[in-house]
Every structure is written in structure tokens, then in C-alpha cells.
Amino acid sequence: MKPLLKNSSILLAVILLVALTLPLYAGEYYIHIGVMVLFYAYMAVAWNILGGYAGQHSLGHSLFMGIGAYTSTYLFSVMGITPWLGMWVGGALAGVMGLFVGYLCFRYGLKGPYFALVTIALAEAAVYIATNAEGIGGAQGLSVAWTGNAPEMMQFNGKGGYYYVILVMTVAAIVLSTWIIRRRFGYQLLAVRENEDAAEALGVDTLRVKVQASIISAMLTALGGTFFAQYFTYINPRNVFGEGPSIQILLFAIIGGLGTVWGPVVGALVLVPVAELSRGWLGGSFSGAHILLYGTVMVLVMLFMPNGIVGLYEKIRQRIQNRNEKSEVA
Amino acid sequence: MLEVSKLRRDFGGLTAVHDLTFKVEAGEIVGLIGPNGAGKTTTFSMLAGFIPPTSGDIVFQGKSILGLKPHQVCKLGVTRTFQIVQPFPDMTILENVMVGAYARYTGTVDARRKALEVLERVNLAHKANTLGKNLNLLELKRLEIGKALATEPSLLLLDEVAAGLKDAEVDNILVLVRQLNKEGITFLIVEHLMKVIMNLSHRVIVLDFGQMIAQGTPDEITKDPAVLEAYLGKEA
Amino acid sequence: MVFSPELLLQALITGVLLGGIFALISVGLSLIWGVMRIVNFAHGEFLMIAMYIAYYLVVKGGWDPYLTILITAPALFLIGILIFQTTIRPILKDPSMNQIMLTVGLSLIMQNLALVFFKADVLTANTTYTRLNFMLGPVVVRGSQLIAFAGSALTAFLLYWFLQKTETGRAIRAASLNRDAATLVGINVRNTYLLAFGIGSASLGVAASLMIPFYYTSPTVGLFFGLIAYVVVVLGGLGSFPGALVAGLIIGLTESVGASLLPGSLARVLTFGIFIVVLLFKPQGIFGGKQK
């Protein structure tokens, strides 16, 4: 047990060191891939709190991403308020939405595919509302006005600045997610996922913890939405509220390993570079290449390793451990 | 400690529990028996807040617990186990029990200490790091009691906790329940195995078709003609 | 938008005709969902593929759109059972989330394969039926939609008859009610599932051929119809055919009447609103159906 722990903290330190220094030696293109890895890791970690820990699988998390992206972009472009502030306004709005959605669904006992369907419907409804709301750009969407290299406006020359912003956000999200899972709230969420009746019988206020998870997950996702808008400088109803972003938010958590702290991060770390590189190589001739890859990996993971990469790793580790124990006995 | 009065539950046109009235005193072990479909598990579910009664009242330690949710009932000191064991399969045994302990302790250190204590009591300490899905039936039954115990109940509702176990294993459970009772936990137990009921109960309540047809000491019950009728009459 | 009785009447007619198609797209999903308890999130993509098949037969092969049913229905049946055997059967007993994720994965694959092969272009087949319109009093009735409505009703009826009256149909229904009991009375549940999945997919082949004279094809067309199918199935009650028909009409009317009363595409919000309300307050649907 001990040496394993030591190994993993060394590994963690190395990864963190590489992550911290990447922009110093990597070119813009590789920094961009780094940004994408971190962004999707961040979103997957956020989704995982409701989807993985509490086991309530939202297929419409773009609802919250869109609220975050639109709020900060509107405040910035129309009123000149810095996204550093706007992201928290968006986060708060998304939190309220998370409360509303969570309470509504869980109060009426929606589970499994039914919860998934409601979340899709809400996100799709948001697409059409945003499309028809001319005040926020309608179908055209909103552009983030370029104000030059202005860190106070979350705008940077080059990609390095964005890289560090999302790095800090991702590390913070991982810390939060780790902290949650080690305390009462986290245990109660897992219990709800595993067996709701049993949890309730043991004094877990299942409705309350599910709604809380929904609020936290929604807020974090919205903060990611603001980053998305700042980085790509353009948002429209489909690319922030649509089905595409919804699936990309949860994809890496599923592939990496649902309900674990590191699953979402590992999923993004393994898959995003492959997808981004393949997109780069195949270029415009094959525009859906990365999504095709995601879909295929998703199907294969569900068929052959439903607990994701981390789940598979745990299984192998346990098998080795068991074998060692047996040989010690013998 | 527990006063149930005129408790009734209808499912559609069927009355599963019919104007049931009984009491459980602090420190007792009360057995609840009856043929299949007599309404035992339905009664348990109502006591623990899982299904609302159609009418009647449940008073625990002087206060009505009617309309409370299961987690609220648990916080007041009434915890149930399930006839079909309900572990958290992908959590370790320690974590399983900690979920129960968190009902009383908000801090993880305290909850873990409590859970380890309970694991010792139910003989599962050596399995602390095993996943819930990897236990055998006896261990699962013990875990079921362990999780409930960790919530520090004053009244523990055990639903068929010995069903499916071998003789020696049943004896294990008997010893455990008796010990816990000595330490002050009151028990209401539903059980098919007469051996368990007759060995443990201070008092037995017999249900048939949702109604109480007899109550008394195990000895009295076995001689009660109404009980014999309910259990044997239909086959004779 | 100016409100006029003619406009409303026009919307009503269009809504009813549209509702028929919605119903046909949904009965296949209802069958699969009801029998296997699996929500196929790739349902819309099956339709999309069928529409491409129909489109190319009509445009490149010069087929009569309605004759393409002879190809689209069997093709979709085969694609359905192929996908069922390779990906869905192995996870029939897995947690519902894994099933959802798997079918979402399938939908991504199908959508993006379509993107690769057919490009993102929106394709419309201009057939003789496309312009077969006539006036009914003050309103225009599109002939192709009327045929589609009739075809949908007929197909749905045939499916219903098949499930109710034939031995195989009864076996499918028995398997949907109680898997274990069905096995006990000698029904081969595995084959039954395969058949149900094939039939559910084949019905989309029929729908595609009926739609091709008046509806466009694109890689993402399945997204919308898939969602509509979930709405209709939930609203009508899982596994209920009459429910799917009535719910199809309700949603068709909501879409078309909504579109004539509300600005832009806000009518769609109304559709999803109905869906959410039904899921929350009456998840067993307006026709009762089975418990969730």
C-alpha cells in the first residue's frame, strides 16, 4: 500500500511540474491542445459531481455552460464588466438554475433515462430561447470584443495566459472534488448513487444532497462556460447550449471512470490530445473525425470496460494485490 | 417507546394493514410474525417512513412521527434494515457503515471511528476494505445490521435478518441481537424462522391479513388457537 | 404576426399531417423502449440513415419515393439487428446509464459517418409528389404530407395488428411484460428482442421514404426527430400505440399552431415545455401505459 501511495504522489508532482511549465517550451499549437485537455478535464470534473458521485446523469449540462458563457459575455460586451466578475454572476445564475432543475426533477423522483431526458429537453429549450432572443444576438450569437492584451479582462496575447487560467481552474476543481468526496457530503452522494432507499434509511436526506450536488455542478460548469467564451471569443446558441457540448462535457468522465476523482481528468488527458491531433492532421476534409473517435471510444468503453480507464486500473491493481496476498500466505 | 394506533394501509382495493394497534416498550425485543402477505413488511415500511399510512398514528417517544421522511425517522432513533439486503455495492464495507455513522457524526474522523467500532461488533473488521458487492450472504446480513447500528438507533427494526442463513450463522446473529439488547437497544423484528422469534422475543405479535390476531410471550403464542389456525388451519 | 382564422386553419391541417409522421417515428421507439426497457438515443440517427438511403434512390436512382420503402424498410431492419447484436445485446442487463451512453455513442458515430460520406449539406429531393398540392377551401394541403399521413396511419395500424393478433407479436408483448415468465412459457426472449429491435428500426425506413418528398436530409436531422420521438413516447405512455398516435397529433399541432402564433422558432420551446411537464407530473403518459 505505502510504496504505491509514494509512487502516485511522485507521479502527481511530475505531472503538475510538466503542466506548470508547458507554455515555456511548447509551441502555440501544443499549448492549445493543453488548454483543450484542461478545459474538458475541468468540465468533466464539474459534471462528475452530479453525474458520477450522485449518479444523476445529466445529458443537458450545456444548459449551465451556456448560462455562464452568455452571462459573462453579455456583461462584458454590452456593459463592459470584466469576465472575472461576470463569471461569478453566471455561476450564481447557473447555481439558481441547478437548484431549480435539481429540485424539480428529484422532488418528483425522476431517475435514470427520465432525468437524462428532462435535462436534454431543458438544454434544447435553451437553444431555441437563445436563438429567438435578439437582445443576446439571436441565432448569430455574441462575439467577445477584443481589447488587446488585457489580463484584467481575461484576454491575453497568445495562448499561454489562457492556459494558466484554465490550469488554475482545473486544479481548483480537482481539489474541490477531492475535498467533497472525503467528507460526509461526498459519502452521502455516493450512497445515494449506490442505493437510494438504503441511504435514506440510514439518515441521508437524499433529496437535499442531490440538489446540492446539482447546484455545485451547475456553478462550476458555468464558470467553464465563461472561459470557453473568452478563449474562443465567440458563442452561439448551438455551440454552448447544444447537444454537442452536453456530450463533450460528460464524455471524458464516462471514459475516464465515473464517480472517481481522477477519472474525468484521465479521460481528458488520454483522449483530447488524440482527438485534437487527428483533427489537425485530417483537417477540413474530415471535420467530424474527433467526434467519430469519441463515439467509437464511448461504445467500446461501455462494451468492454464500463468502469472506464480508472476502473480498469483499479481492477488490475486489486488483482495484483490479491495475488501478492495469496503468495504471502503460501 | 413506540405506540402504533389504528395503523392502516390500503393498496388499491386491498388492505395490507388493517387498524393495527400495538406498543413496544423500551428495552424489549418484540417479534412480529405472520404468514406471507400478513402485512409485516408493509408495517415496517410505514414505521420507518417509507410509505405513508392510509390512516392511524405512529408515536415514537411521545411524538408522532407520521409524515416524516425515512431520514428524519432515522435521526430520531428508529432505523430499519431491509429484508433483501441493500449494501452500497461499489463502496467498501467501512464506507458502507460510515454512511450510517454520518447520521450522528458530521466529522469524517468520528464517523470512521464509530464505523470501525461497529465493524468489530458485527465481526466484519477484517473485511473493512472489501467492496460491498464482494461479500457473501452472511456477511451482507451482518453488514445490514452494522449499517443500521452505526446510526445509533434506540429502536432497531430488523426485517428477516436471519433468512437464508445456515444454523450456526443464525446462532451468531441471535447472540449479537441479545448483546445489543442488553446494551439498551430496543428491537422490533420480523422473522420467518420460528427459532429466532422464539429464542429472542420477549413478546410476540401475530398478524394475519393485516390484522393482529394474537400477542403474548412466545409460549402463550404457540398455544393460541387463533395462531395455530392461521398457520396450520389453511393447510389442514 | 397577424392572426387570421385561415392561418390557424392552415396550421391545424399541417399540424395533423405532421403529427401522423411524428407518431410513426415514435412507435418504433416505443416498441424498443417498451419491450427492452432501453432508451435508444440513436433512434433519430437510424431515421437519418434511412432518409439518406431514400434520398439517393430517388435522386440518383430515379426511384419513385414510395417504392423506396421496399429498400429502406428491409435495410433498416438489417442495420437494426446488426447493431443490436453487436452492441446492444451485450449490455441489456447493464445499468441504464451505460445503455444510454452506448446509444449516445452510436448516435455520434452515425452522425459523423454521415458527415464524412454525405457532407454537411442539406439535401432536398424534388419529386413529382413535392408539388402535388391542392386547395381545401382557404387552406393549402400538401399532397405529399397527406400521403405520408395516410401511410403512417396504415403502417402504425399494421404494426399494432401484428403485435396484437399474431403469435410472434404476442410473444413480443409477453416478453415486454415479464421477461422471466415469457422465458418460462417457452418464448425465446433473445430472438424476440432482436425482432422487436429490427421492426422498430424498419418502421423508420418506412417513415423516411414517406418523408423524403417534403423533408430535407442532413447529418443532424436525426437530432430533432429523435427528441420528438422521446417526447411523443413519453406523452403517449410507454409502449402504448394509441397513445403514440394521439401524442403525435398533439405535438404536431403544438409545433405548427405554435409556429403560427409565436415568433421565430419559439414553438419548439413549447414542445419541450410539454415534455418536461409530462415527465415531471405524469411520467406514465396521458394514456396510462406502463409504470416507469
pLDDT in tens, C192-240: 889 999 999 999 999 999 999 888 999 989 988 998 999 999 898 887 8
β-strand B29-33 against B186-190: which pairing, if any? parallel
Q: What is the mean pLDDT of chain B?
A: 89
Q: How many contacts does A have with B, using Cβ atoms within 8 A?
A: 86
- Interface contact flag, A198 B82, Cβ < 8 Å: yes
Which member of C94, C108, C230 has the closest CB to residue A306? C94
Region C182-188: what's the mean pLDDT? 76
Which member of A190, A194, A201 has the closest CB to residue B70? A201
Which member of B70, B98, B132 has the closest CB to residue A200? B70
C-alpha distance from residue C29 to each of C104, C179, C239, C289 (Å): 15, 19, 9, 14
Residue C60 lies in a domain: yes
pLDDT in tens, A43-89: 999 999 999 999 999 999 999 999 999 999 999 998 999 999 999 99
* The pLDDT value given to residue C58: 92
ipTM (interface pTM): 0.90
Per residue in B181-216, is it b (16+ CB within 10 Å) or e — as a string?
A: beeebbbbbbbbbeebbbbbbebbbbbbebebbbbe
Q: Which of C234, C224, C266, C251 is nearest to A126 (CA)?
A: C266
- Interface contact flag, C104 A57, Cβ < 8 Å: no
Which member of A105, A116, A291 has the closest CB to residue C112? A291
pLDDT in tens, A6-22: 677 888 889 889 999 99
Region C268-276: what's the mean pLDDT? 90
Residue ranges of domains in chain B, CATH in brackets: 2-232 (3.40.50.300)
Residue C289 lies in a domain: no
- Interface contact flag, A190 B91, Cβ < 8 Å: yes
* The pLDDT value given to residue C77: 96
Chain A residues closer than 8 Å to B69 by CB: 200, 205
Residue C287 lies in a domain: no
Q: Which of C59, C57, C174 is nearest to C125 (CA)?
A: C59
Tell me which of A155-159, A314-318, B3-7 is least confident. A314-318
Region C106-112: what's the mean pLDDT? 93
* The pLDDT value given to residue C241: 83
* The pLDDT value given to residue B202: 92
Chain C residues closer than 8 Å to A124 by CB: 227, 268, 272
CATH number at residue C190: 1.10.3470
Q: Provide the pLDDT confidence category of residue C168 given band limits of 50, 70 and 90.
A: confident
Q: Is the pLDDT confidence value at A329 over 80?
A: no
Task: Supply the pTM of this predicted model.
Answer: 0.91
pLDDT in tens, C34-43: 888 888 999 9
* Count: domains in chain C: 1
pLDDT in tens, B68-119: 999 999 999 999 999 889 999 999 999 999 999 999 999 999 999 999 999 9
* The pLDDT value given to residue A54: 95
| Bridge partners (DSSP) listed for residue B20 | B7
* The pLDDT value given to residue A286: 65
| Bridge partners (DSSP) listed for residue B92 | B131
- Interface contact flag, A298 C101, Cβ < 8 Å: yes
pLDDT in tens, C19-36: 999 999 999 998 888 888
* Count: domains in chain A: 1
Domain region containing A281: 2-329
How many Cβ atoms from other residues are within 10 Å of residue A134's Cβ? 11
Residue C290 lies in a domain: no
User: Touching check for B91 and chain A: CB below 8 Å?
Assistant: yes
Residue with cell 465567440: A234
Domain region containing C179: 5-281
Chain A residues closer than 8 Å to C276 by CB: 118, 121-122, 125
* The pLDDT value given to residue C291: 41
